[in-house]
Structure 1
Amino acid sequence: MLYGILDQPLGRGLKYDPDTEIPDLNGKIIIVTGGTYSNVGLGKETILRLSKHSPKQIYLLARTQSKAEAAIKDLQSAVPKAPISFIQCDLTDLKSVEAAAKDFTSKEKKLDILYLNAGIMATPPGLTKDGYEIQFGTNHVGHALLTKLLLPTLEKTAEQAADVRVIAVSSVGHVGAPWSGICFDKLKTEMSWTPTMVRYGQSKLANILFARELAKRYPKILAVSIHPGAVNTELYRSVFNGWLSPLNRIRGGFDTVETGAKNQLWAGTVKREDVTNGEYYTPVAMSGQGSWNSQDMALAAKLWEWTENELAGYEPPKAHP
């Protein structure tokens, strides 16, 4: 699996400066999941860069209120009066996701950009509160429910001739998914005999397939997935500083968070005609780099149907009056 990681282009694509190339975001309502890592998180960096371009409101969806409030304080010290609000959302608990969607729709009539950014990586075997393999349940199922519950708002916004986007943060780690792509019959087990990075790869493959199928079924919404690069975040360091550190030195070290956030910032704000709906992009703006499983639309449809069946008991909240 390592050959796939090393062969992927990491940061060799489009030169991109978010400070000068992100357009005016006046009137935009944005959600970013995750973003509470102290100073080395992609979500926090994404919010920072977007905040500089005058969005109407950015909602930080995160599990821990104290960490979110500390992150918002840091962000507003860098960008005074940045319009950032916290909504509690634990992706491992579908009831919490449902509550977050209700909280958001009670506040806003529209949603322009949804960043499915939060995630976990290389965790020990475990289950979410709803009984899904912990990485798949967090990285895919929780985000899928959030998207489902916000779809009416996204669609309504798109009908108003707005440029509506969903950006799923995946990973080159998707190449490590099982040969079959996704082990549907094991997703409600801990998969304890499956290596943690294989379970992670499966969840990141699901992010790509979900974005592809979302784009197919809801073409008015621009949905893409991205790989941020091997970024110097707490998430990556905790995993790769050990067994991958020699390989990391070969490729020149981790990318900075500032570099790592560029691909998702580009995908969320570049001219719509420059982005292919449903595509998976490596840094920055490079298409066509995913595994063969990541391009399997039959697998994408199967994942969508499985997910819809699992989430059938959840209905979108009533629209904002």
Structure 2
Amino acid sequence: MERVVLVTGASGGVGLALCQRLLDEDGRIHLCIACRNEQKSEATRDLILASHPSAQVSTVEVDLGNLASVLRAARELRCRFQRLDFVYLNAGIMPNPHVNFKALWHGLLSGRVLHMLTTAEGIMTQTDRLNGDGLQEVFATNLFGHFMLVRQLQALLCGNEKPSRLIWTSSSNARESAFSLSDYQHAKGQESYSSSKYATDLTSVVLNRKFNGQMDVDEDTAEKFYQKLLELEEQTLEKYRDLLD
């Protein structure tokens, strides 16, 4: 029986390179690529099949920053598959950094402009918009959307004696590495994404209700963080009750 692998954020960059690497290593897997819209999904599927024509590649549409989309995608995946063997939580966005000209002007008046220009301290700012659910887009896309998706897929992840492997790739260290490596080199260089402390710890939060100790976070803080995620999950499920089975 072929192994089923789900990759979010698969339409480009590290996600697409990861899909190609997975098929290079094992062309027998069933690869399910998750992208934000149908056009991107199909275009990505065609691109992958161009280099791996015999591969089994399916698509699912999911916008991790849209919780209704997350619940619809989870329902579709539960109908389509009996289990997921590997789940790569790769989708992620970054806030848009820009220069704070007002702060720069104050720096000119205060005589701190040289320090500000050499360190960017006080002049660079980032804008993180709110999504339709009232959550910051980066938080919703990079963390909470994945949290909801995995929680909704637990029957596929934990239903058999051999648990699925969750691999959280949208971490700060992965993104930093991508600046100095090509996307494929980055995907190839991560021999085990699960060795990333960010990947392991957030997976632990999703399924085990605690951090595993690799991050510098005490148990009390970790538990409070997890409880806040559960509160948000409860609010989301109440809001979108019609999308649940």
Letter in structure 2 aligned against 1:145: M
Q: Kindly tell me: are residues 137 and 77 of structure 1, through their superposed partners in 2, closer, same or farther at Cα, counting changes over 3 Å? A: same
**What is the DSSP-based 3-state SS (H/G/I as helix, E as strand, rest coil) of the residue aligned with 2:71?**
helix
Looking at structure 2, the residues matched to 143 and 279 of structure 1 have their Cα atoms a distance apart, in angstroms, of 14
**What is the DSSP-based 3-state SS (H/G/I as helix, E as strand, rest coil) of the residue aligned with 1:30?**
strand
Q: Kindly tell me: are residues 133 and 228 of structure 1, through their superposed partners in 2, closer, same or farther at Cα, counting changes over 3 Å? A: closer
Q: Kindly tell me: are residues 261 and 255 of structure 1, through their superposed partners in 2, closer, same or farther at Cα, counting changes over 3 Å? A: same
Looking at structure 2, the residues matched to 133 and 32 of structure 1 have their Cα atoms a distance apart, in angstroms, of 23
Count matched residues. 197
Work out the percentage of aligned pairs sharing the same amino acid: 27
Question: Contact (CA 8 Å) 2:91, 2:170: kept in 1 or not?
Answer: no
Looking at structure 2, the residues matched to 108 and 125 of structure 1 have their Cα atoms a distance apart, in angstroms, of 35
Q: Kindly tell me: are residues 230 and 308 of structure 1, through their superposed partners in 2, closer, same or farther at Cα, counting changes over 3 Å? A: same
Question: Contact (CA 8 Å) 1:62, 1:89: kept in 2 or not?
Answer: yes
Match of 2:3 among 16, 20, 28: 28
Note the 1:249-268 alignment, pairs <5 A: 254-262=180-188, 264=190, 266-267=192-193
Question: Contact (CA 8 Å) 1:92, 1:130: kept in 2 or not?
Answer: no
Note the 1:218-257 alignment, pairs <5 A: 227=174, 229-232=176-179, 254-257=180-183
Question: Contact (CA 8 Å) 1:167, 1:264: kept in 2 or not?
Answer: no
**What is the DSSP-based 3-state SS (H/G/I as helix, E as strand, rest coil) of the residue aligned with 2:21?**
helix
Match of 1:102 among 72, 75, 80: 75
Note the C-alpha offset of 1:163.
5.0
Bigger Rg, structure 1 or 2: 2
Letter in structure 1 aligned against 2:27: S
Looking at structure 2, the residues matched to 291 and 33 of structure 1 have their Cα atoms a distance apart, in angstroms, of 24
Gaps of 5+ in 1: 1-25, 174-226, 233-253, 281-289
Paired position in structure 2 for 1:300: 222
Question: Contact (CA 8 Å) 1:72, 1:84: kept in 2 or not?
Answer: yes
Gaps of 5+ in 2: 97-126, 203-213
**What is the DSSP-based 3-state SS (H/G/I as helix, E as strand, rest coil) of the residue aligned with 2:177?**
coil
Question: Contact (CA 8 Å) 1:32, 1:47: kept in 2 or not?
Answer: yes
Looking at structure 2, the residues matched to 36 and 133 of structure 1 have their Cα atoms a distance apart, in angstroms, of 22
- Which digits, 9 at most, give the CA deviation of each residue in 1:218-256, with x for residues without a partner? xxxxxxxxx354214xxxxxxxxxxxxxxxxxxxxx211
**What is the DSSP-based 3-state SS (H/G/I as helix, E as strand, rest coil) of the residue aligned with 2:227?**
helix
Match of 1:80 among 31, 53, 62: 53
Structure number with the bigger relative contact order (C-alpha 8 A, sep ≥ 6) is 1
Runs of 4+ in 1 over 4 A off after TM superposition: 315-318
Q: More helix by proportion, 1 or 2?
A: 2
Note the 1:283-294 alignment, pairs <5 A: 292=216
- Which digits, 9 at most, give the CA deviation of each residue in 1:156-208, with x for residues without a partner? 03x2xx352111124336xxxxxxxxxxxxxxxxxxxxxxxxxxxxxxxxxxx
With normalisation by structure 2, the TM-score equals: 0.71
Q: Kindly tell me: are residues 56 and 255 of structure 1, through their superposed partners in 2, closer, same or farther at Cα, counting changes over 3 Å? A: closer
Match of 2:130 among 122, 127, 131: 127
Paired position in structure 2 for 1:167: 167
Tell me the C-alpha RMSD between the 2 structures.
Answer: 2.8
1:137 has 2:140 as partner? yes
